[in-house]
């Protein structure tokens, strides 16, 4: 995808994974498998701290990324 292309967001495909790191970790694999079944091209994830469970989640997401990871600084 080039920067000139815009993303079409389908509200039916937006998936909330949980409020706690433990819940997110529990839901991660099922959601990645479902995204694959639904032929989802782009997954956007709000980053979390690289500590303990957060490290495991972000590591799994990095391994699942097939082409590019873009890190955007937090805006205030």
pTM of the model: 0.66
CA distance 73 to 70: 10
Using one digit for the tens of pLDDT, what is the confidence trace for 3-58?
Answer: 546 667 777 777 788 899 999 999 999 988 888 898 887 788 887 888 999 999 99
Locus of tokens 């839901």:
27
**Which residues contact residue 72 at a Cβ distance below 8 angstroms, ignoring those fewer than 6 apart?**
none
Local confidence band at 2 (pLDDT 50, 70, 90 cut-offs):
very low
DSSP 51: S
Local confidence band at 69 (pLDDT 50, 70, 90 cut-offs):
low
Domain residue ranges of the chain, discontinuous segments joined by +: 17-64
């Amino acid at each position: 995808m080039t920067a000139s292309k815009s993303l079409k967001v389908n509200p039916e495909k937006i998936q909330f994974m949980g409020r706690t790191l433990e819940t997110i970790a529990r839901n991660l694999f099922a959601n990645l498998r479902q995204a694959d079944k639904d032929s989802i091209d782009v997954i956007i994830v709000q980053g979390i701290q690289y500590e303990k469970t957060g490290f495991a989640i972000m590591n799994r997401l990095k391994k699942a990324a097939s082409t590019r990871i873009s890190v955007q600084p937090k805006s205030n």
